Chains A and B, each alone.
Chain A
Amino acid sequence: DTAVSQTPKYLVTQMGNDKSIKCEQNLGHDTMYWYKQDSKKFLKIMFSYNNKELIINETVPNRFSPKSPDKAHLNLHINSLELGDSAVYFCASSQASEQYFGPGTRLTVT
């Protein structure tokens, strides 16, 4: 009965690699998000998608690209990974006010 799921839960990779994180929600929500939480625990929005249209795109590097094949999925692809990309990435979805978060993907770039 998982509402928002992410894979993988942990990702360890080397600098320069390309990786993807997948997110799925079974809540029927219209809007999905990606957040980054850094080592200082500050949670910052990266992207959101509403009905497959990008509606927020914060000042993140263009190495990050969200891809939404359908309303229930919002994947995050990262090119040329850098040390500073190490963080926990949370997917979330919402219909009205409350956002439901996935369990997070802990990315470590070595």
Chain B
Amino acid sequence: RKEVEQDPGPFNVPEGATVAFNCTYSNSASQSFFWYRQDCRKEPKLLMSVYSSGNEDGRFTAQLNRASQYISLLIRDSKLSDSATYLCVVKSLSGSARQLTFGSGTQLTVLP
């Protein structure tokens, strides 16, 4: 089983749609959780951290369920510029180091 698993995608949605991505992680000792965004042929960039109580940043809402080891990202009123690959990322302790483990990503295309 992969440490971080995401919806396979791709998701093709019209502008203005609401889309949700899911992610599960296997390491129950994982400490921190993030969503990164990667545009085509570009580097990953932090979109938002994910907190236990859930958090919102504009049109983006992230939720964490530690009991189920499940993370989600909701995008409301999607824009063409939201088209990208969304990476679910989990931070855990590996020996004495904190390590990020990336999911394989979910590709989103927002259509006009």
Beyond A41-B104, A43-B102, is A101–B43 a contact (Cβ under 8 Å)?
A: yes
How many residues belonging to B are interface residues under a CB distance threshold of 8 Å?
Answer: 22
Q: Once bound together, how far apart are the Cα atoms of A43 and B102, in whole Å?
A: 6
Chain B contact surface mostly: strand
Chain A interface residue bracket vs B = 10 to 19
Within 8 A of B (CB), among A94-110: 97-99, 101-104
Q: Once bound together, how far apart are the Cα atoms of A56 and B98, in whole Å?
A: 9
A99 pairs with B100, CB closer than 8 A: yes
Beyond A101-B43, A101-B45, is A41–B97 a contact (Cβ under 8 Å)?
A: no
Question: Is B17 part of the contact surface with A, judged by Cβ < 8 Å?
Answer: no
B44 to nearest A CB, angstroms?
5
Stretch at the interface among A11-19, A44-52, A63-71, A79-87: A44-52
* A residues lining the B interface (CB < 8 Å): 40-45, 48, 50, 55-56, 90, 97-99, 101-104
Identify the 7 closest CB pairs spanning chains A and B, nearest first. Answer: A101-B43, A55-B97, A43-B102, A98-B46, A42-B104, A56-B97, A101-B44
